[in-house]
Chains A and B, each alone.
Chain A
């Protein structure tokens, strides 16, 4: 696997849109060709090389291309957007749309990632070692087809609207989450090791939410059914099992109503 290292040298005055920073675009390009790719600062079209030092050539395909992003990229958007394979490692924190619409490969953000990370993710893996912003792994506005596959791990906290319209895949958050988790979800699994605030699982059609910490206010549409023992990444624990959203529509299987499930650690 070939590694391309890009290092921020000239900070943008505003924000930088670097949707070209993805293994799919870099694949088959030399450092010089990569430096020549365009980026946008507002409506000003510039070259990647004008903002970043570029070292190393990309592999022949996305799959054998690894991108390391160094320096302060807190004001850089769209890193790893639409990547389908290969690897992106952001050594610091980054702005919105990290790994948005990604379908494969692996992206690691060592710091924080702002809102809309992994929007409508289809596959692959996103790891955020710091905190994630709002709308992590959520659908794009108006779309009922949210995250459908892949895995997201956040080692810190996450903002509001995690996994909105989620259809599949898994989101694991080691810290706490803000309001609204898995709203409108119709599949997939969200694991929260820390605490949740409120509005959890609103309008949930199907899918699974597992919470180890506390919930400030439970949605009225969630009904306690029983206690269940679950095994979550290796560790067994006892959970209070709720079904919901009982106010929402649900599919039927063999005349049986299929609800979404919420598990809260006892």
Chain B
């Protein structure tokens, strides 16, 4: 006999689909089938079952081999490393739950560390822009029920958020959008003819790195001011047509992604996109939303914010919280040679940082807490495999629109494996002894 678990939350991307169904074996140990999830989400659930999975902490030996150690020994190494370091960096947090993040923040506070999440390489620059001019936004249900103008700017949901368009943005029939896709106009801005762009009513194939200029041109068009003939490779007629299409909607939304946060101008691209949104609220109703990638990167920012006051790039080394990307941000800390110990959890800087920011990690005391084998675990001194969040343990996480959803545990982790939170509690308690903290 098998059991079906419903209303399961997919822990892959910020879309946080919560309608997944999972078939598990009677003893609750095996995950057999996955329904409703996208191909990536399905792989995420199924991979947790792979037989070749590492189930115990391992120390990296100079000859490249790995020596298995106990979780207690792993916690000891981690606590000692954090206690000794003058400027440890605790990075990641996006693939773990808010409960673990809270314990992590306590550890960071006791060890006076820098702490940062994967916004560092995805929407960190969006946060800088939000701090500069705000964020008129809404929940995804508002899009589903009201939106008739959908803009995807520098993002490719067809690949990065596979169910976004069907659940929230393009296809669903909502309260005021009974005709679904027919009631919406879709605009895509991307230097490539992406699979998302192929579906659009209007595709602006912007010259890469000129989003700032194109966004500015839209604002100029709203005000009917003079425009050059061509901006960012787009003729001004096309720009004015797009501006009018935005104005003529009842409720519009701009979704934006790495195309703008990681291209030159970075925060300024988002800043100008938010200004575009603000302008459009003088003619109709418009919102804007970052397409957050990691399933709980948003949650990490929320927890950092209510506990320390800043959403990422937090520096606690002076005993109180400071924030200034460029100084306290992970990539700069690594490439500038500011830190002397690296603690990674729920993310893979080894694969997703520029190599010049990865090399320092290989040359300092380092811990990688991750259920997978990754380039980060490959260059770290200690690898601590843990239970899969959202599959083998529950816990709260936040969707790309900041809506909190409590993840479900669907199967037991392999015998004797700890969750992030359980391991972090070991580290915290040991660290308190070392630091003689209350």
Tell whether, in the assembled complex, residue B272 and residue A246 are in contact, meaning their CB atoms are under 8 Å apart. no
Tell whether, in the assembled complex, residue A223 and residue B212 are in contact, meaning their CB atoms are under 8 Å apart. no
User: Nearest residue in A to B336 (C-beta to C-beta)?
Assistant: A15
- Does any Cβ of B come within 8 Å of A106's Cβ? no
Chain B residues contacting A15 (CB-CB under 8 Å) are 336, 338
Tell whether, in the assembled complex, residue A247 and residue B265 are in contact, meaning their CB atoms are under 8 Å apart. no
Per CB-CB distance, the 7 closest pairs between chain A and chain B, nearest first, are: A247-B219, A42-B87, A42-B86, A142-B131, A43-B112, A246-B225, A247-B220
Interface set, chain B 298-330, CB cutoff 8 A to A: 316-319, 323-327
Interchain CA distance A150-B87 in the complex, whole Å: 35
Chain A residues contacting B326 (CB-CB under 8 Å) are 96, 115-116, 134-135
Tell whether, in the assembled complex, residue A141 and residue B265 are in contact, meaning their CB atoms are under 8 Å apart. no
18 residue pairs bridging A and B, Cβ less than 8 Å apart: A14-B86, A14-B87, A15-B338, A43-B111, A96-B326, A141-B323, A142-B132, A183-B268, A202-B212, A202-B272, A220-B216, A220-B228, A221-B217, A221-B220, A223-B226, A246-B226, A247-B218, A247-B275
- Does any Cβ of A come within 8 Å of B20's Cβ? no
Tell whether, in the assembled complex, residue A220 and residue B132 are in contact, meaning their CB atoms are under 8 Å apart. no
Chain A residues contacting B401 (CB-CB under 8 Å) are none
User: Nearest residue in A to B132 (C-beta to C-beta)?
Assistant: A142
State the Cβ distance, A261 to closest chain B Cβ, in Å: 16
- Does any Cβ of A come within 8 Å of B148's Cβ? no
Tell whether, in the assembled complex, residue A180 and residue B228 are in contact, meaning their CB atoms are under 8 Å apart. no
Interchain CA distance A43-B320 in the complex, whole Å: 10
Tell whether, in the assembled complex, residue B220 and residue A220 are in contact, meaning their CB atoms are under 8 Å apart. yes
A: residues with CB less than 8 A from B are 13-15, 17, 40-44, 77, 96-97, 115-116, 134-135, 140-142, 144, 165, 179-180, 183-184, 198-199, 202-203, 217-221, 223, 245-248
Task: Tell me how many residues of B have a C-beta within 8 Å of chain A.
Answer: 45
Tell whether, in the assembled complex, residue B217 and residue A220 are in contact, meaning their CB atoms are under 8 Å apart. yes
- Does any Cβ of A come within 8 Å of B128's Cβ? yes
User: Nearest residue in B to A217 (C-beta to C-beta)?
Assistant: B213
B: residues with CB less than 8 A from A are 85-87, 111-113, 128, 131-132, 210, 212-213, 216-220, 222-223, 225-228, 231, 264-265, 268, 271-272, 275, 279, 316-319, 323-327, 336-340
State the Cβ distance, A37 to closest chain B Cβ, in Å: 15
Selected contact of A43 from candidates B86, B227, B271, B275, CB within 8 Å: B86
Chain A residues contacting B223 (CB-CB under 8 Å) are 246-247
User: Nearest residue in A to B86 (C-beta to C-beta)?
Assistant: A42
Selected contact of B227 from candidates A140, A165, A203, A220, CB within 8 Å: A220
State the Cβ distance, A46 to closest chain B Cβ, in Å: 10
Chain A residues contacting B212 (CB-CB under 8 Å) are 199, 202
Tell whether, in the assembled complex, residue A41 and residue B86 are in contact, meaning their CB atoms are under 8 Å apart. yes
State the Cβ distance, B146 to closest chain A Cβ, in Å: 27
Tell whether, in the assembled complex, residue A221 and residue B340 are in contact, meaning their CB atoms are under 8 Å apart. no
* Residues A141 and B217 in contact in the complex (CB < 8 Å), given A42-B85, A44-B86, A203-B272: no
Interchain CA distance A140-B322 in the complex, whole Å: 12
Tell whether, in the assembled complex, residue A40 and residue B318 are in contact, meaning their CB atoms are under 8 Å apart. yes
Interchain CA distance A155-B131 in the complex, whole Å: 32
Query: Assuming A141-B131, A217-B210, A247-B279, what are 17 further A-B pairs, CB within 8 angstroms?
Result: A40-B317, A41-B86, A42-B339, A43-B86, A43-B318, A44-B86, A135-B326, A141-B132, A198-B213, A202-B272, A219-B213, A220-B213, A220-B217, A223-B226, A245-B216, A245-B219, A247-B216
Chain B residues contacting A199 (CB-CB under 8 Å) are 212-213, 265, 268
